Amino acid sequence: MSFKTLQHSLIWTALVLSIGGLLFNTGALLSVHNDNELINQLASGKDVDVSKVISGKPELRLARALYLKQKHRYDEALSTLSLIMEQGDQAFRAKVRYNLGNLYLEQAMNHVETMKMNEALPLVDLAKQAYRQALALDSQDWDSKYNLEVAMRLLPEMDRINSGNEDDPKKQATQLWTTVPGFPRGLP
Amino acid sequence: MRVGLLILLLLAGCSGSVTEPVSYFAIETPRPFGYVIGDEIAQRIVIETRSGIALQTSSLPARGQINRWLNLTQINVKQQGEQTVINLRYQIFYAPLEVKMLSLPGFTLQFAQGDNTLSKDVPDWSFTVAPLRELAVRKNEQHEYMRPDVRPPFLSGSAAQMGLWGSFLVSVLLGVYLAYLYGYFPQSRRRVFKQALKQLAKLSEGDMAQALTIAHKAFNKLNSRPLFQHQLADFYRSHTEYQRINQLLDWFFDYSYHYFFSGKQAVMPEHLQKIRELLEQCRKIERGAL
C-alpha cells in the first residue's frame, strides 16, 4: 500500500470517525435535554416514568427524591437519596446530604408538633449528622449552616458534667454529652 | 585591650539565636471574630530549627473530631530545609444563642535531636462565634422556619455541545477536502480524468479515434499544454505520481501513434478496455487514492 493510498484511507477513516462523533454527541445532547426536561417536570410536582430515573443520572434521582418529599413519601425519598450518597462530584454530594438533612429535619418537626419527642429525637440527630457531612464537603453552604443551627436549637447538645466552663475544649474530648429536646422559644 | 575585645567577640559569637534549638516559632491565625457554625479556621505554624532537629509528627493533634463542636479536618506538614510549616484546618459546629467566645485547644509540639527531645507549646487560640438565627422562633405556615431543599442542578450539555461542534467542523473540513479530491468543485484540475471517463463510457470500440482524442485532451489539460510521447520524462518530473503507471502511458502513446500515423494498428475490444483502465488509474491518482 503506497503512502498516497494510506493517506486516502486515513482521510476516509477520519471522516467516518468524526461523523460517528457527531452522532454520539448529538445523542448525548439530546439525552441531556431530555433529562433536564424530566428534572423540570419533577420539580414542578409531576411524577415521571421511574425507569427513566433508574437508568438516568444521579441528578434525576435527586429531583425525584425532592418530588417524593413534597408528596410526603418520606421513606421512598430516603431510599432514593441513599442510592446517590456517593455519586457525583463533591458539590453534588454536599447537596444530597443537605436535602437528606432537610428530609430528616422536616419529619422531626412534624413529630415535635404532635409532641412525639421519642420519634423526633433520632431524626434530629440524623439531620445534624447529614448537615455536618454537607458542611464538611462544602463549608460555604449557608443553607446547611442555617438548618444545622435550626436542628441544634431543636436538640441542643450539652455537656453532662458541667465543671464551670461548659465549653472547655480540652475537657470535652473525654466527657460525655447529651441532648435536650425542644424549641428554645426565646423572646415573645 | 585587644585581648579583652577578642574575649568579647568570642562571647558574642557563642550567644544568640544560632545556638537556640528553635530559632523561629510563629503561629499565624486569621481574624478572631465573626465565625458562624460550619466555618473553617486555618491555623499556620511556622518553625525554624537548628539542623538535626526533627519535628515528631505524632505530637500533632489527630485528624477528626476534637470535641463536641470542633473537628480537625486537615493537617499538612511541609518541611523545607530547616523550616517546618504546619497547616491545620479546623471546622466549628457550635450553635450559640448569642456571640460567644470559644478556643481552639492548644497542644505541645515535640522535637527530637538524637536521644533528646524538646517541646514547644502551641497555646489556645480564642475567637468568637455568632448565631445565624434570631433568638425568637420564626415560624412559617407549618412549623419552624428552615431553609428549603436545594433544587436539583440541571445537567450541563456543554461538553456534548463542544464535542458536537468539534466533530461537525472536522466532518465538514474532511468532507470538503474529499469533495476537492474527488473533483466535485467546478474548475478543479482534479476533474480532468473524471470527465474523460464519463465521456469514454458512452463510446464503443468503433469510436477508437474519439476515445484516443478524449484521453489525449485529458493529458494535455493536466499538462497545461499538448503532451507528446517524447515529453513523458518531463511530464513525470512535474507529475511524479504518474510515474507509477508509466507502462500503461507508454503503451497508450505507442498505440495512439500507430493508430493515427501508421494506419496499421488493428482495433480490438480490449484496446478500448485498456484505455479505460489507464484513465481509471489516472482518476485514482487524480483523487489521491493511488
- Asked whether residue A70 falls in the same domain as residue A97, the answer is no
- Asked whether residue A133 falls in the same domain as residue A76, the answer is no
- Asked whether residue A98 falls in the same domain as residue A140, the answer is yes
Q: Per the structure, how many domains does chain A have?
A: 2
- Contact between B219 and B236 (Cβ < 8 Å): no
pLDDT over 90 (residue B21): no
- Asked whether residue A92 falls in the same domain as residue A30, the answer is no
pLDDT over 50 (residue A174): no
Backbone angles phi, psi at B204, to 5 degrees: -115, 180
Q: How confident is the model at residue A170 (pLDDT cuts 50, 70, 90)?
A: low
Of the three residues A87, A104, A125, the one that is the final residue of a domain is A87
Q: What is the pLDDT of residue A3?
A: 72
- Classify residue A183: in a domain, yes or no: no
Cβ distance of B137 and A150 shorter than 8 Å: no
- Classify residue A5: in a domain, yes or no: no
- Asked whether residue A53 falls in the same domain as residue A80, the answer is yes
- Asked whether residue A152 falls in the same domain as residue A100, the answer is yes
Domain holding A147: CATH number?
A: 1.25.40
Q: What is the pLDDT of residue A102?
A: 96
- Classify residue A24: in a domain, yes or no: yes
Lowest mean pLDDT among B14-23, B86-95, B138-147, B243-252: B14-23
Fold held by B21-129:
Immunoglobulin-like (2.60.40)
Q: What is the pLDDT of residue B262?
A: 80
Cβ distance of B178 and A15 shorter than 8 Å: yes
Q: How confident is the model at residue A139 (pLDDT cuts 50, 70, 90)?
A: very high
**CATH 2.60.40 domain extents, chain B:** 21-129
The verdict on A8 touching B (C-beta cutoff 8 Å) is: yes
- Classify residue A149: in a domain, yes or no: yes
- Asked whether residue A32 falls in the same domain as residue A82, the answer is yes
> Using the 8-state DSSP alphabet, how is residue B69 labeled?
T
- Asked whether residue A76 falls in the same domain as residue A134, the answer is no
pLDDT over 60 (residue A54): yes
| Secondary element (H or E) of residue B175 | helix B158-181
The pLDDT tens digits of the residues spanning B101-132 come to: 999 999 999 988 888 888 899 999 999 999 99
Q: What is the pLDDT of residue A184?
A: 46
> Using the 8-state DSSP alphabet, how is residue B44 labeled?
E
What is the mean predicted confidence (pLDDT) over B75-86?
A: 90
Between these two residues, B185 and B284, which has the higher pLDDT value?
A: B284
Q: How confident is the model at residue B141 (pLDDT cuts 50, 70, 90)?
A: low
Give A8's contacts in chain B (Cβ within 8 Å).
181, 287-289
Between these two residues, B11 and A50, which has the higher pLDDT value?
A: A50
Give A112's contacts in chain B (Cβ within 8 Å).
143
pLDDT over 80 (residue B140): no
DSSP assignment of chain A equals --HHHHHHHHHHHHHHHHHHHHHHHHHHHHHHHHHHHHHHHHHTT----HHHHHTS-HHHHHHHHHHHHHTT-HHHHHHHHHTTTT-S-HHHHHHHHHHHHHHHHHHHHHHHHTT-HHHHHHHHHHHHHHHHHHHHH-TT-HHHHHHHHHHHHHS-EEESS--S-TT-HHHHTTS-EEE--S------
- Asked whether residue A96 falls in the same domain as residue A119, the answer is yes
- Asked whether residue A136 falls in the same domain as residue A79, the answer is no
Which residue is closest to A109 within chain B, CA to CA?
A: B143
- Asked whether residue A46 falls in the same domain as residue A26, the answer is yes
- Classify residue A25: in a domain, yes or no: yes
Lowest mean pLDDT among B2-16, B26-40, B171-185: B2-16
Question: Which three cell numbers mark A4?
Answer: 498516497
The ipTM value here is 0.78
Of the three residues A54, A87, A120, the one that is the final residue of a domain is A87
Q: What is the pLDDT of residue B61?
A: 93
The pLDDT tens digits of the residues spanning A98-117 come to: 999 999 999 999 998 888 88
- Asked whether residue A149 falls in the same domain as residue A114, the answer is yes
What is the mean predicted confidence (pLDDT) over B131-143?
A: 75
Cβ distance of A35 and B155 shorter than 8 Å: yes
The verdict on B128 touching A (C-beta cutoff 8 Å) is: no
- Classify residue A185: in a domain, yes or no: no
Q: What is the pLDDT of residue A183?
A: 46
Cβ distance of A156 and B95 shorter than 8 Å: yes
- Classify residue A179: in a domain, yes or no: no
pLDDT over 80 (residue A134): yes
The verdict on A33 touching B (C-beta cutoff 8 Å) is: yes
Structural domain span for residue A97? 88-156
The verdict on B151 touching A (C-beta cutoff 8 Å) is: yes
pLDDT over 70 (residue B167): yes
Q: What is the pLDDT of residue A167?
A: 53
What is the mean predicted confidence (pLDDT) over A145-166?
A: 74
Average pLDDT over chain A, rounded to whole? Answer: 85
- Classify residue A47: in a domain, yes or no: yes
